[in-house]
Chain A
Amino acid sequence: MSEFLLTQIINYGAPILGVTVFFGALGIPFPATIIVIAVGAFCRQGFLSWPSTGLIALTCVVLGDCLSYAMGYYAREPVLRRFRDSDKWVQAENSFQRWGGMSVLLTRFLITGIAVPVNLIAGTSNFPFRRFLLYDLAGETIWVFGYGGLGYLFGPQWEAVGAFLSNASGLLLGILLLGVGIWLGVRRFRISTGIQESG
């Protein structure tokens, strides 16, 4: 897939990058991070202009994120019908109101694998759209210009940089899942031990 997209980008330029990152933001599994790094290298080689390419990519990815937020927002009613009375839902909604901004920011460029679920949750949990847009814009700016900048900086070595960053992002996701699992396990163990001691 990435080879096909790279060929299309060198043929048709920034619009193809825009389409790629837009659909990537909607959850289509495009290798968007690798493509952004490659495009940074193309800009260094003079095949593309970095200001216009960067702006097109940023606009398209933010539009994609807003659309997936909207999907979550309009799915709120059916979700609420099912979970409205659940304490856990209220707790989850409150947690997202508190930590949502940071979640949106970090999943734009660090743990990109869960960016789409975070967008959907943000919409469903009624996270204020203006705050979402602000954090989204900040995170995507880091993603587009930071990762594209690495491609620009490392030029012909962009493949090695891309491979490292993509794998490191997957590793972070694994560490996050493992951490949450261990945290829940320890908490459950403490609660059950506490009950036994008090009993």
Chain B
Amino acid sequence: MTPSRLRTLIFILIFMGGLIVGFFGVRTLHAFREFGRHRPPPPPSAADAGQIETDVELIREWMTIPFISKMYHVPANVLFDALGIPANKNREKSLKRLNKQYFPQAEGIVLEKIKATVLAALANQPQQMQENPQPPVVPGTPTFAP
């Protein structure tokens, strides 16, 4: 390699390396701080699979209604009814896609409605769960295990 080519290579490596270190360094620090803000997770146990999630802020727009239904043990038809949309053909669609399809003028409305419905359902759940620890089973709700 000629000296001028080597000089160019060294310059590119140092410049690109510095740029990447700066960019990802800031993002890593930010992600580390963000991670530190969360409460420590409970240790995994065999009971986790049936555990009810109670934090509705964990609901994301990529989730589907049956997934949220299983995660929070809220019947899927309750969630579809809250949105006023049919369950048929909508089970595999994400909240974002449902929003685009049924409420194109109101961005994020599906997520907000689902959060509110789940929250309301969870508020009524503790008594039911004490009487019957099994989650409610809704006919036609798909399972996720492959």
Contacts and interface: CB of A to CB of B under 8 A. Distances in A.
Interface residues of B, number: 52
B31 interface: yes
Interface residues of A, number: 46
Given A15-B146, A45-B48, A188-B10, A160 B34 contact: yes
A42 B145 CA distance: 10
A48 B11 CA distance: 48
- Interface of chain A, helix or strand or loop or mixed? helix
Contacts of A178: 13-14, 17-18, 20-21
A168 B144 CA distance: 32
A174 interface: yes
A14 interface: yes
Q: Per DSSP, are chain B's interface residues mostly helix, strand or loop, or mixed?
A: helix
Contacts of B60: 3
Interface in A144-164: 152-157, 160-161, 163-164
A13 B28 contact: no
Which 7 residue pairs are nearest across A and B when measured between Cβ atoms? Answer: A46-B49, A178-B17, A181-B13, A174-B20, A177-B17, A13-B146, A170-B24
24 contacts: A6-B62, A15-B146, A45-B49, A47-B144, A48-B146, A52-B146, A88-B1, A153-B41, A154-B41, A155-B48, A156-B41, A160-B34, A160-B35, A163-B27, A168-B24, A171-B24, A174-B20, A178-B20, A180-B17, A181-B12, A181-B14, A181-B17, A182-B14, A185-B14
